[in-house]
Amino acid sequence: MPRVALVVDDSMLIRYAVCRFLEERGFQVESATNGLEALQILQRVRPDLIVTDMRMPKMSGNELIDALKSNPETASIPLIIVAGRASGFDETEKRATFSIYKDIDLQSQLEKALDAVTGRGRAAGR
């Protein structure tokens, strides 16, 4: 059974890049353009991984993470934050398993993040 990932980003370009990256690594991918859409998807799908942007319309990544963490069914799903450096994203954000910047070599950062959340060695030192 394939692992499932949920990608939440209002940028079609980033969403596409992250979805393709995960699909190439065997994930079945669901995507949403904001936190509200993501919560709707979570009513029918229980992903093994969630990748979210922080700045989105309707419901921000921060509000989405609050909602995920307050629900026992979704609180333990590994979370990767993909944020723009100018987003005002706080690097001290501790609720995510891994955080990366979308404006610096997205592919190699996603590789590190995926290794970290799936526990595949190389990213142990981060």
The average pLDDT across 27-41 equals 96
- Give domain status of residue 80, yes or no: yes
| Domain range enclosing 50 | 3-118
> What tens digit of pLDDT does each residue of 69-121 get?
999 999 999 998 887 765 555 555 566 767 767 766 778 878 888 887 877 64
The average pLDDT across 23-44 equals 95
* pLDDT for 89: 55
How many of the other CB atoms lie within 10 Å of CB of 108? Answer: 10
* pLDDT for 61: 85
The residues with which 86 forms a beta bridge, in sequence order, are none
- For residue 2, what is the DSSP state? -
- Give domain status of residue 37, yes or no: yes
Q: Which tokens go with 103?
A: 């404006």
- For residue 94, what is the DSSP state? -
CATH at residue 12:
3.40.50.2300
Q: Give the number of domains in the chain.
A: 1
* pLDDT for 122: 44
How many of the other CB atoms lie within 10 Å of CB of 81? Answer: 25
- Give domain status of residue 123, yes or no: no
Band of pLDDT at residue 123, cut at 50, 70 and 90: very low
* pLDDT for 105: 77
The average pLDDT across 63-74 equals 93
Please tell me the pTM assigned to this model. 0.83
Q: Is 83 exposed, middle or buried (0-12, 13-18, 19+ CB in 10 A)?
A: buried
